Chain A
Amino acid sequence: MFRSKFQTELDGINFDLIELGRVVNSVIQDCVHSLANNDLELSQQVIEIGHETKAQVEKIEERALKAMLMQQPVARDMRFITTALKVVSNMDRISRQAREICHIVSDLHEMDYKFDAELLKTMGEHAIDMVQNCIESFANLDIDLATKVKHQDDIMDNYFKELKLQMIERIKNKEENADSALYFMMIGKYLEKIGDNSEAIANWTSYCKSGKK
């Protein structure tokens, strides 16, 4: 493979990643809206679209591994391909976690639970913002934005701690909606994990640009 062909391949991997990022961004937005509005139809759409991302993920992994094999990249090329392999995995996880949330939304719908955890809505909006920012930071190799995502993850962790306390209180007090607490905890945990994966993308973006995470 000549350098120009290799460069074309690197550009292609970058394009595919940004495209996957766009899909993941849309998946997380729909997921949070289906959660907030108890929208069963939208949650089903997320579950289906989420399955489609698998093919995109595999394609990017295959291209990156082939480029490594054929070119044995170093310096910024090596950092980019390493980052691509890591970021694609984090995007895949965000997509899976969004699907898991939508499965819970479906379960809640079947059980006719009322969605009454405002903090989860806040966490959901925060997750949308984090995913958007981390993908944008990767696409533009924007270190400042990557740093912002890292700070946003601390806020997400605090939200989750607060959610836990609220749900424990709900169970302790044997409130009418105590049964839903377990489901909301699980959703909260997935949102917190989405925050972690967004932070990981931000960290790898920093590595790609500067060699330091």
Chain B
Amino acid sequence: MANNQIITITDLHLYYGKVEALKGINMSIARNEVTSFIGPSGCGKSTLLRCINRMNDLIDNCVVQGNIYINGIHGLDGNIYDKNVDINALRKHIGMVFQKPNVFPMSIYDNIAFGPRTHGVKKRSDLDIIVEDSLKKAGIWNETKDNLKKSAVSLSGGQQQRICIARALAVQPKVLLMDEPTSALDPLSTATIEELCENLKEQYTIVIVTHNMQQATRISDKTAFFLLGEILEFGTTEQVFQTPRNIQCENYITGRFG
């Protein structure tokens, strides 16, 4: 595995009962880059995203075959579908942000401190540092520093989503999976999160599912086009959006179908 590839997926198949949702996915995701997954609804992009931290394990009748190798994350190197993999450690290193902000009904501070506490950080001063650092990285420190005891539920949608990002960052992940993180947000909040992605990729690897083609072009280094459970095109975002090689990809991104 090349050193700059943090995730390598080989011959990955996923079945929901008898339905094959992913049909032999092969791809590598580069470290410190933003990779976008695009494609029409039901094509398998969120399913693949969830495979990367084994979220699909929680779904009945879901069977995954194939391998997802992690490279360069201490204690996690190897195939994440091996039997002895510690799922908690996996999800600590590979965090996830969902479509709708899902803050916990507790204070901003406790939302961010929740993960570190679960992983054994008890000292208040350590937690203070983690909370401040995470909120700063998520670009919401200035808005919340004077109201850390305020309920996170009372924040706006855009702020809640950044709290979710801060919460994911608090356990110091290496990879951040984002499943349509801005689809429920207004343009200003969307712009803030997109700018955040640009800043975060210096330290993290980001994989994002998006239905917004302009968002994919704005923020991602690489783009993968999915259709009916397969990746039909994967390349630099510039290449995919300027000179796509696959005609179905071109038809989709230019709005000719989908």
A binds B: yes
State the A residues within 8 Å of B (CB).
Answer: 3, 6, 71-79, 210-212
Question: Chain B residues near A78 (CB, 8 Å)?
Answer: 241-242
Task: Assess whether B123 is interfacial by the CB under 8 Å rule.
Answer: no
Task: Assess whether B118 is interfacial by the CB under 8 Å rule.
Answer: no
Question: Chain A residues near B241 (CB, 8 Å)?
Answer: 74-75, 78
Task: Assess whether B253 is interfacial by the CB under 8 Å rule.
Answer: yes
User: A148 CB to closest chain B CB, in angstroms?
Assistant: 23
Chain B positions 229 through 258: 1 when the CB is less than 8 Å from some CB of chain A, otherwise 0: 000000000000111100000100111100
Main secondary structure, interface of A, reads: helix
Given contacts A3-B255, A3-B256, A6-B255, contact A74 B243 (CB under 8 A): no
Question: Chain A residues near B253 (CB, 8 Å)?
Answer: 74-75
Nearest residue in A to B253 (C-beta to C-beta)?
Answer: A74
Question: Chain A residues near B84 (CB, 8 Å)?
Answer: none
Question: Chain B residues near A77 (CB, 8 Å)?
Answer: 254
Given contacts A210-B243, A211-B242, contact A76 B250 (CB under 8 A): yes
B residues contacting the other copy or chain, number (CB 8 A): 12
C-alpha spacing A72/B255, complex, angstroms: 11
Q: Enumerate the 9 nearest inter-chain pairs by beta-carbon distance, A residue then B residue, closest first.
A: A211-B243, A74-B241, A3-B255, A75-B250, A77-B254, A74-B253, A75-B254, A75-B244, A75-B253
C-alpha spacing A71/B213, complex, angstroms: 11
State the B residues within 8 Å of A (CB).
Answer: 213-214, 217, 241-244, 250, 253-256
The answer on a CB contact under 8 Å between B254 and A73 is yes
Question: Chain A residues near B214 (CB, 8 Å)?
Answer: 72
Question: Chain A residues near B217 (CB, 8 Å)?
Answer: 74
Question: Chain A residues near B255 (CB, 8 Å)?
Answer: 3, 6, 71
User: B203 CB to closest chain A CB, in angstroms?
Assistant: 30
The answer on a CB contact under 8 Å between A79 and B256 is no
C-alpha spacing A3/B253, complex, angstroms: 11
User: A1 CB to closest chain B CB, in angstroms?
Assistant: 10
Nearest residue in B to A3 (C-beta to C-beta)?
Answer: B255
The answer on a CB contact under 8 Å between A74 and B256 is no
C-alpha spacing A57/B242, complex, angstroms: 25
C-alpha spacing A141/B243, complex, angstroms: 16
Max chain A Cβ within 10 angstroms of own Cβ: one of B213, B214, B241, B256 = B256
C-alpha spacing A210/B256, complex, angstroms: 19
Nearest residue in A to B214 (C-beta to C-beta)?
Answer: A72
Nearest residue in B to A71 (C-beta to C-beta)?
Answer: B255
User: B246 CB to closest chain A CB, in angstroms?
Assistant: 11
C-alpha spacing A76/B250, complex, angstroms: 8
Question: Chain A residues near B244 (CB, 8 Å)?
Answer: 75
C-alpha spacing A201/B202, complex, angstroms: 41
Nearest residue in A to B249 (C-beta to C-beta)?
Answer: A75
Nearest residue in A to B250 (C-beta to C-beta)?
Answer: A75
Question: Chain A residues near B213 (CB, 8 Å)?
Answer: 72, 74
> Which one of A71, A72, A75 contacts B242 once the chains associate, using CB atoms below 8 Å?
A75
Nearest residue in A to B213 (C-beta to C-beta)?
Answer: A74
Q: List 13 additional A-B contacts (Cβ < 8 Å) besides A210-B243, A212-B243.
A: A6-B255, A72-B214, A73-B254, A74-B213, A74-B217, A74-B254, A75-B241, A75-B243, A75-B254, A77-B254, A78-B241, A78-B242, A79-B242
Nearest residue in A to B255 (C-beta to C-beta)?
Answer: A3
C-alpha spacing A6/B254, complex, angstroms: 10
C-alpha spacing A75/B247, complex, angstroms: 10
User: B237 CB to closest chain A CB, in angstroms?
Assistant: 10
User: B68 CB to closest chain A CB, in angstroms?
Assistant: 30
C-alpha spacing A21/B205, complex, angstroms: 49
C-alpha spacing A210/B213, complex, angstroms: 21
Question: Chain A residues near B250 (CB, 8 Å)?
Answer: 75-76
Question: Chain B residues near A3 (CB, 8 Å)?
Answer: 254-256
C-alpha spacing A147/B181, complex, angstroms: 46
Nearest residue in A to B217 (C-beta to C-beta)?
Answer: A74
Question: Chain A residues near B254 (CB, 8 Å)?
Answer: 3, 73-77
Nearest residue in A to B258 (C-beta to C-beta)?
Answer: A3
Q: 25 A-B residue contacts at CB 8 Å? A: A3-B254, A3-B255, A3-B256, A71-B255, A72-B214, A74-B213, A74-B217, A74-B241, A75-B241, A75-B242, A75-B243, A75-B244, A75-B250, A75-B253, A75-B254, A76-B250, A76-B254, A77-B254, A78-B241, A78-B242, A79-B242, A210-B243, A211-B242, A211-B243, A212-B243
